[in-house]
Every structure is written in structure tokens, then in C-alpha cells.
Amino acid sequence: MAIEVEPAVSPYLIVDDAAAAIDFYIAAFGAEELGRVPGPDGRLVNAALRINGSVVMLNDDFPEMTDGKSMTPKALGGTPVSIHLTVTDVDDKFQRAVDAGATVVAPLEDQFWGDRFGVVTDPFGHMWSLGQPIREVSPEEITAAMAAMEQEAP
């Protein structure tokens, strides 16, 4: 019998304490744990969560698999990637993440492109943006707002 495959793009996060990260994501984003695979030493080789309807995978850091280098955002000095959640109750979701231990990077505010939007960093160094569309904005309005912002910049 053939295995049915559903094509997807899933973030795969490396963290310094995968079990604690799972607990955080459950508290912060209402994640549902789909499963975890512990290795012989107790570190998680793989774990899967459902967050906001999508699968997010994660595992503990294994520097011995990457020439002795830690691959967590903290070890690398940050991350250039933000995982975005589009939600229907952004104020509640944003506050829930902060209450669970996330650090605010950009406060939740209404944005020129039509979203109420903010950014947090989780305790493991991964960045999450949360947004809720609150009004429709035309491409022309977005272009005009960006031009106005450029003129205001020092």
C-alpha cells in the first residue's frame, strides 16, 4: 500500500531544550503535540507540533552532528528568520505569548499594509510575527505609505 504524502513546508526548529520548547509553544501558541522521539541520552531527535493549523518540527541541538557547532539561534547570535502566524485574535494571541515568556521585539500595532502586527522572540531565540488583517489596503495605498515613510526618515 502506498503512503499518501501531503506536500508541505514546515519550519524545523533547533532548540537547546526541546521538551521545554514544546511546553512553551503549548502555553504561548496553543500548540498541539503530535509526537516526540527521544534519543538514548534523552535529547529529542524529533518532535512535531501543530501550531495555528500547521506542523512545526523541532529537535534538541546536536553539535556533534555539525562539526561541534551549536545550531540554536542563541548560539548563532540570533536568527534571520521569522515564523509568521496569521490569526483572528491577535491581541489575545500576542499577550498569551508574552505571558508565556516571549520577549517583545516589535509591539503590536496597526500597520499601513492593513494588519495589526507585532513580533516576539521565544525563550529559545526563534522569532515569531503575529498578524491579523484588519482592513483591506490597495497596492497603491501601500506604495504611498512607504513613500511617506521614506520622506519622514532621517
Residue 4 lies in a domain: no
Q: Which domain holds residue 66?
A: 12-152
Closest CA to 108 of 124, 90, 96: 90
Residue 39 lies in a domain: yes
pLDDT over 80 at 153, yes or no: no
Q: If you average pLDDT over residues 50-59, what whole number do you get?
A: 97
pLDDT over 90 at 87, yes or no: yes
Residue 1 lies in a domain: no
Look at residue 113 in the predicted model and tell me its pLDDT. 96
Residue 56 lies in a domain: yes
Q: If you average pLDDT over residues 37-61, what whole number do you get?
A: 97
**Average pLDDT in the chain:** 96
Verdict on whether the full-model pTM lies above 0.95: no
- Please tell me the total count of domains within the chain: 1
Q: Which residue has the higher pLDDT, 152 or 54?
A: 54
Residue 119 lies in a domain: yes
Q: Read off the CATH number of the domain in which 39 is found.
A: 3.10.180.10
Look at residue 1 in the predicted model and tell me its pLDDT. 81
Least confident piece of the model among 4-8, 51-55, 78-82:
4-8
Look at residue 95 in the predicted model and tell me its pLDDT. 98
Look at residue 130 in the predicted model and tell me its pLDDT. 98
Residue 66 lies in a domain: yes
Residue 5 lies in a domain: no
Residue 2 lies in a domain: no
Q: How many CB atoms lie within 10 A of CB 19?
A: 15
Residue 23 CB contacts under 8 Å (≥ 6 apart), including other chains: none
Look at residue 119 in the predicted model and tell me its pLDDT. 98
Look at residue 6 in the predicted model and tell me its pLDDT. 85
